[in-house]
Amino acid sequence: MRRLAAIVLYTALAFGANTAAAADLAALKTGEMRKLALADDLVPASEAVFEDAAGNQKQIADWRGKVVLVNLWATWCAPCRTEMPSLDRLEAAMGGEDFAVVTLATGRNPLPAIEKFFADAGVTHLPILRDEHQVFSREMGALGLPVSILLDRDGREVARLIGGAEWDTPESKAVISALIDG
């Protein structure tokens, strides 16, 4: 009985915290973040496997414990290419123990094309990751590109932004800081 009471208490506290976090994020939806759609439920991210530049298998769970901004993109996608430098600057400014930007090229994006684009755009802080068969993207319900998905430290979707954005603005950093401080 004590265990059941503890479970009910922790569940209630978690829902209260999630409600408060959602309210905090809603208040921060200004500037570029006006397009941010807050998740109704905290659903875990896909566990689909994708590859890094060396061909090693990765999963979003590899970043568990951090707030993560997953960006689904492609080399042929103009808005994706436009926003990538701001994602790189965001990773340079905020990436570390508590936060990471995870850029995941979805579909047919040959490694040489990604490397050339990163070099041409001056992208030096972001990982090269590929979801060649679009399993992760499909499981996350991405219907177009770019799509950026904010995950909490437990790997659950907190918010999503469809379309391009400038990710290194004060408004964007405020949203991410609120999740980190959560």
**What are the backbone dihedrals phi and psi of residue 56, each rounded to the nearest 5 degrees, phi first?**
-75, 140
Query: Would you tell me how many other CB atoms lie within 10 Å of the CB of residue 87?
Result: 26
* Rounded Cα gap, residues 72 and 107, in angstroms: 10
pTM reported for the whole predicted model: 0.87
What's the pLDDT tens digit per position in 124-157?
Answer: 999 999 999 999 999 999 999 999 999 999 999 9
Per the structure, how many domains does the chain have?
1
- Angle, CA 85 vertex, CA 33 and CA 129 arms, to 5°: 95
Buried b (16+ CB within 10 A) or exposed e, 123-149: beebebbbbeebebbeebebeebbbbb
**Which of 22-26, 35-39, 98-102 tops mean pLDDT?**
98-102
pLDDT at residue 3 in the model: 33
> How many angstroms separate the Cα of 38 from the Cα of each of 22, 44, 101, 134?
7, 14, 18, 24
Q: Are strands 37-38 and 129-131 parallel, antiparallel or unpaired?
A: unpaired
pLDDT at residue 169, rounded to an integer: 96
* 15 pLDDT more than 90: no
For 89, residues 6+ apart whose C-beta sits below 8 A from its C-beta are 125, 167, 168
Helix (H) or strand (E) holding 122: none
**DSSP 3-state assignment of 158?**
strand
Range of the domain at 11: 2-181
Domain at 80, CATH number: 3.40.30.10
